[in-house]
Chain A
Amino acid sequence: MHSPTETRGHASLRLLLIVTLSAAAVACGRGNEASGATAPAQVITIDGSSTVFPVIEAVAEEFQREHRGTRVTVGSSGTGGGFQKFCRGETDISNASRPIKATEIEACTKQGIEYVELPIGYDGIAIVVHPSNTWASAMTVADLKKLWEPSAQGRITRWSQIRPDWPDREIHLFGAGVDSGTFEYFTEAIAGKAGQSRGDYTSSEDDNVIVQGVSGGPDALGYFGYAYYEQNRDKLKLVAVDDGDDTNGAGAIRPSPETVANGTYRPLSRPVFVYARVSSMDRPEIRAFLDFLLDRGQPLVREVGYVALTPREQELVRRRYSERKTGSMFAGTDHAPMTLEQRLTR
């Protein structure tokens, strides 16, 4: 089983391969045109979030294995960069690790781009400690911010500095590597801005290192993608997280497939999406790809480290897709405490 970051690491290599092959294919295509043969290759252009990238890239690989005539190019310009291209009409599908923003909706409307919003899974981050840790069974977002924000560097180094009744021992921190989507998301959710983190902790692109580190000592704390906890649950203990907002579940909440999916494990869980351009959906190869994604994508979602949709949600997403229901289910109600299922049925 690959960890998400491992997959991301290989992803760039695979992307390079795809690009090279594409270039070769284009060259061949030209040659063929010159000799007046066969139709040009069908191309599906996808760009957007680097968090969603590994899922879509895995789906694209499987898809291309079965549909030889179709090329799928997947970029990872980030959610914002992806929407910029999408709303200019340059891509068929845009990956997003957050719902489309009002400004982006406006940009799309201006260009006459209509889209269908399709959730494909959840990205959740687990905070873990050593199984013998009896004190840190729950932490607030403020605790986590105090521990992980840049100004904590070299300053907050003992458990007792987070809460006075916790042991006066050094805390050993482990976390995602700076190139991972997990790092970006964690820092954004906890410190307020993506990339803002202290630097004096063991940061690794390899989730195994984090598992090893946290399971190796009683004073360790670490974070990584929730799916990775599931594979190592006997060696680690989850920390419940309290976001201080009782409207989406009171008190501290531990991550689980249920709390991640029903939106009560906040702020460290979020649905991830693909946005498909309606006009592109008239093309059979795009429909084939989206069918493939919705029918066979969920195991891949799990494999790269995310939480899959519930069967009910999957059914609702598929209905939304077949009805080509346009617009965002978040528009105007971004911060309302609603589950994805409620939004999908709205």
Chain B
Amino acid sequence: MRSRRIFEAVIERALFLCAAGSILVTAGIVLVLLWETAAFLGEVPIREFLFGTVWTPLFYDKQFGVLPLVAGTLLASAIAMAVALPAGLLIAIYLSEYAPAPIRRTVRPVLEVLAGVPTVVYGYFALQFVTPLLQQIVPGLAGFNALSPGIVMGIMILPLVSSLSEDAMRSVPTGLREGAYALGATRMQTALRVVVPAAFSGISAATVLAMSRAVGETMIVAIAAGQQPRLTLDPRVPIETMTAYIVQVSLGDTPAGTLEYRTIFAVGMLLFLSTFALNLMSNWLRGRFRQEYA
């Protein structure tokens, strides 16, 4: 009896340490980011960093305006969302409202395999396959561009949108659907006008989560989008995202402790804050618009 209690206590401590460990690591990362970002902002005014339009910290004429990197990130993510959102929603509607059970049981796991493909594979898929294909359709598409990795990133986050949205739609009570049918609504009217609005909180949370995933995605854009920070919304030319910049500097020989080196922490901090804000928003949306169906 006694030994069992001790064993329980040990297990409890061990589990607590595991949980505390992951929190400590997170806190450590945030602290390092804060520390290096503060050092960076001590040398570069925050106004110049946030609102400058030229990003050339490694070059002769050093400028620290992060907007080109932000624009690159937003452009690639927007393209990804333009692919993932409509396709993901349609898939979710089909799986939840139309597909017979056997099809749903097959399609869903197959789709989710997409999320499990290593992103480096996606990166080379974009660079070596999608870009040459698109170049035959889109005039003036450069070898590195935002379009191709954006589309591929959309494919990657597709299952995130479709699975989470499907879950939300399936949790809409059958009673609502039956009510719609009783009023003479067709299957499509029921799906679009009753089920989707009722599942809105879940769908928007899924969308924001997918957006956050796209903003933080690194490998695909580092490989296929180029490494040229520029303030543009043209998807055909090389760009650089925040994540790709961090990769570029980390791979080079930039000496630690220099201002150039600190730029990656400042950019990392900005990236962290944006994905963090998106995740918070996703959580908030889920709670805010949730309708209780008793």
- If the complex has contacts A8-B253, A179-B252, A204-B248, are A213 and B143 also in contact, measured as CB distance less than 8 A? yes
- If the complex has contacts A197-B59, A200-B56, are A216 and B142 also in contact, measured as CB distance less than 8 A? yes
Of B54, B127, B143, chain A has the most CB atoms within 10 Å of the CB of B143
A216 to B236, CA, bound (A): 12
Interface contact B143-A198, CB-CB below 8 Å: no
The secondary structure that dominates the B interface is loop
The yes or no answer to B262 lying at the interface (CB within 8 A) is no
Contact of B237 among A170, A197, A215 (CB under 8 A): A170
CB-defined interface of A186-225 with B at 8 Å, one 1/0 digit per residue? Answer: 0000000001111111111110010011111101100000
The yes or no answer to B251 lying at the interface (CB within 8 A) is yes
Interface contact A201-B228, CB-CB below 8 Å: yes
CB-defined interface of B246-277 with A at 8 Å, one 1/0 digit per residue? Answer: 00100111100000000000000000000000
Interface contact A154-B59, CB-CB below 8 Å: no
The yes or no answer to A58 lying at the interface (CB within 8 A) is no
Contact of A196 among B60, B238, B248 (CB under 8 A): B60
The yes or no answer to A177 lying at the interface (CB within 8 A) is yes
Interface contact B144-A202, CB-CB below 8 Å: yes
Interface contact A153-B56, CB-CB below 8 Å: yes
Give every chain B residue within 8 A of A219 (Cβ-Cβ).
Answer: 140, 142
Give every chain B residue within 8 A of A154 (Cβ-Cβ).
Answer: 54
The yes or no answer to A251 lying at the interface (CB within 8 A) is no
A135 to B44, CA, bound (A): 42
CB-defined interface of B190-234 with A at 8 Å, one 1/0 digit per residue? Answer: 000000000000000000000000000000000000111110000
Total interface residues in chain A, CB < 8 Å: 34
Interface contact B144-A212, CB-CB below 8 Å: yes
Interface contact B144-A199, CB-CB below 8 Å: no
Total interface residues in chain B, CB < 8 Å: 29
Give every chain B residue within 8 A of A172 (Cβ-Cβ).
Answer: 142-144, 228, 237-238
- If the complex has contacts A200-B230, A204-B248, are A216 and B143 also in contact, measured as CB distance less than 8 A? yes
Interface contact B253-A179, CB-CB below 8 Å: yes
A12 to B256, CA, bound (A): 13
The yes or no answer to A344 lying at the interface (CB within 8 A) is no
Look across to chain A and name the residue whose beta carbon is closest to the beta carbon of B260: A178
Interface contact A213-B144, CB-CB below 8 Å: yes
Interface contact B142-A220, CB-CB below 8 Å: yes
Interface contact A200-B228, CB-CB below 8 Å: yes
Of A8, A197, A199, chain B has the most CB atoms within 10 Å of the CB of A199
Give every chain A residue within 8 A of B63 (Cβ-Cβ).
Answer: 199
Interface contact B228-A150, CB-CB below 8 Å: no
The yes or no answer to B23 lying at the interface (CB within 8 A) is no
- If the complex has contacts A154-B54, A216-B131, are A205 and B251 also in contact, measured as CB distance less than 8 A? yes
Give every chain B residue within 8 A of A244 (Cβ-Cβ).
Answer: none
The yes or no answer to A9 lying at the interface (CB within 8 A) is yes
The yes or no answer to B58 lying at the interface (CB within 8 A) is yes
CB-defined interface of A214-238 with B at 8 Å, one 1/0 digit per residue? Answer: 1111011000000000000000000
User: Which B48-101 residues have a C-beta within 8 angstroms of A?
Assistant: 54-56, 58-61, 63
Give every chain B residue within 8 A of A201 (Cβ-Cβ).
Answer: 228
A150 to B127, CA, bound (A): 30
Interface contact A217-B143, CB-CB below 8 Å: yes
Give every chain A residue within 8 A of B253 (Cβ-Cβ).
Answer: 8-9, 12, 179, 205
Look across to chain B and name the residue whose beta carbon is closest to the beta carbon of A154: B54
Of B58, B59, B140, B251, chain A has the most CB atoms within 10 Å of the CB of B59
Give every chain A residue within 8 A of B153 (Cβ-Cβ).
Answer: none
Contact of B59 among A150, A215, A216 (CB under 8 A): A150
27 sampled A-B residue pairs with Cβ under 8 A: A9-B251, A150-B60, A169-B140, A170-B237, A172-B228, A173-B228, A177-B248, A177-B252, A178-B58, A179-B254, A197-B60, A199-B56, A199-B60, A200-B229, A202-B227, A202-B240, A203-B58, A203-B227, A205-B252, A213-B226, A213-B238, A214-B143, A215-B143, A216-B143, A216-B144, A217-B143, A219-B140
Beyond the given A203-B248, A214-B143, please list 19 additional residue pairs across the A-B interface where CB-CB is below 8 A: A8-B253, A12-B253, A150-B61, A154-B54, A169-B140, A172-B238, A195-B60, A197-B60, A198-B61, A199-B59, A199-B61, A200-B54, A200-B56, A202-B240, A203-B58, A212-B127, A213-B143, A216-B144, A217-B144
The 7 A-B residue pairs with the shortest CB-CB distance, nearest first, are: A216-B143, A199-B56, A199-B59, A179-B253, A217-B142, A202-B228, A217-B143
- B binding-site residues for A, Cβ under 8 Å: 54-56, 58-61, 63, 127, 131, 135, 140-144, 226-230, 237-238, 240, 248, 251-254
